[in-house]
A and B are shown apart, each in its own frame.
Chain A
């Protein structure tokens, strides 16, 4: 069953066509990958889905509901969450505070928000920090963490928010190569244990081939190929796009 339906979406900035007639489906409960060379329009597509800019034509549906005209916070409140390519965390706060801010406000009543955080909230925050391997650093100012750790923290914050779908923009970029295997493992567990649907932009072929059930490949703003990782790996057009033979 599909949860995000992107059909025939086009988006151009001035004269530059960032996306042309892109159609993509994200299956509920699965891991979907989106690959493509630099400038192929991956992040533009992400931004269109989560509401950062209007699209020129086409439609984007989330659980059957049209979201292409909704605003960022409205879409986020449906349970469709994203992380940023350049991480965004609250640098002045410590890790636990960052986690507590990420509590799913969409599930709270106004009365709940006027309460202090409960012991369970803190426990959940610390468990998730443990899950991504930041437990030791939980009381440090998050701005003093390294870039890789900040990415992990952002990932943990996203999990704290209990999303239905999580859109990850290059989760392994800038992360220490020795930590990448651990991260892949955690992403898979987030998918299997917490039941979160993942939609991932990734440059690192090894990572995405290891994880994704379905992979879409964009080039020059158009959908080039789609299929399982095997099919993509053997697709001549994908290989050409990555080797620059166009």
Chain B
């Protein structure tokens, strides 16, 4: 294709930077779109590129939310007292306290999630196929249930964070850019990672893990590192979400196993797993579908969503990028030659 890549990326960056000012009424939706793009890309790291289909990545999202909130509050007040007041009382945050809490909380969330991915992954990556999916789903459900019984972080009532100091519209733009910068950084990072030996090893694990092991590839190490990296970014996204949602509770908004936890998988499948752009395109398509059904089919939106999952998974699993790859393989730089001049070898098979 003769499109100048740099020009394309520049245009994209301008669109990203201008979007919240051009569509000021859709600030929340645009920020949510970025959230979807981030979680879809991170899910694809293990699910699409490495073949480890996790249903529990939402664990890092919820944990990220809680860690960010605890850090932001804990820097100023005693967390236990704060949560037992349920957002009431005289707990004020200065501007400086808010922003330090935001930055440290979000980064701390990422680091905490990366470390917990190492620990959980050490156990769960021994599992393969469906057991891995069920095991990670179990971790996410268990975490949600345990947190909702943990009074120090507010139990089932959840936590309320301070609101953005100043104009609320500015707050929306602030959150938007926090998400957007995370997303762009993630994209640049993945764009590099998938071209390295590390990326090749991830693909090798997906295509034939037994062969990869027999070749002496450190499969466990690669699995752990890539899950930790993806957990870092989900944790960061979760941390930002905490400041966006402000008031959240464990089961429905933090460890939302059947909402975002499944949405991210559907996004990736819609766009095409194992590709760089697939998750992004899928997230956009999914967000459009979700907005339309939530607005026009209220009450039936979940039925429509279930149907979308089934149709995507059963009939259209390779997604948009996968479809394009079969129709236009030359766009993906593949050479295909069907003829084989070793016919005798073929026959001896």
Interface set, chain B 170-202, CB cutoff 8 A to A: 193, 195-198, 200-201
Across-interface contacts of B215 in A (CB, < 8 A): 76, 81, 101-102, 105, 157, 161
Check: A11 CB closer than 8 A to any chain B CB: no
CB B221 to nearest CB in A, in angstroms, measures 8
CA distance A79 to B212 in the complex (A): 14
Across-interface contacts of B212 in A (CB, < 8 A): 101
CA distance A94 to B338 in the complex (A): 13
Q: Could you tell me if A73 and B203 are in contact, using CB atoms closer than 8 angstroms?
A: no
Chain A residues within 8 Å of chain B by Cβ, number: 50
CA distance A193 to B293 in the complex (A): 67
Across-interface contacts of B337 in A (CB, < 8 A): 137, 140, 144
Q: Could you tell me if A73 and B213 are in contact, using CB atoms closer than 8 angstroms?
A: yes
Report if A72-B348 is in contact (Cβ < 8 Å); known contacts: A92-B207, A116-B197, A149-B342.
no
Q: Could you tell me if B211 and A115 are in contact, using CB atoms closer than 8 angstroms?
A: no
Across-interface contacts of B200 in A (CB, < 8 A): 97, 100-101, 117
Q: Could you tell me if A72 and B213 are in contact, using CB atoms closer than 8 angstroms?
A: yes
Contact with B along A103-140 (1 / 0, CB 8 A): 11110101011111100000000000000000001011
Interface set, chain B 328-349, CB cutoff 8 A to A: 334-338, 340, 342-346, 348-349
Residues on A facing B (Cβ under 8 Å): 50, 72-73, 76-77, 79, 81-82, 84, 88-94, 97, 100-106, 108, 110, 112-117, 137, 139-141, 144-149, 157, 161, 174-179
Residues on B facing A (Cβ under 8 Å): 193, 195-198, 200-201, 203-204, 207-208, 210-222, 225, 334-338, 340, 342-346, 348-349
Contacts A116-B195, A117-B196 known; list 19 others, CB within 8 Å: A73-B213, A84-B214, A88-B208, A88-B210, A91-B207, A100-B197, A106-B216, A106-B218, A112-B197, A113-B196, A114-B196, A117-B197, A144-B336, A144-B337, A147-B345, A148-B346, A149-B345, A174-B348, A176-B342
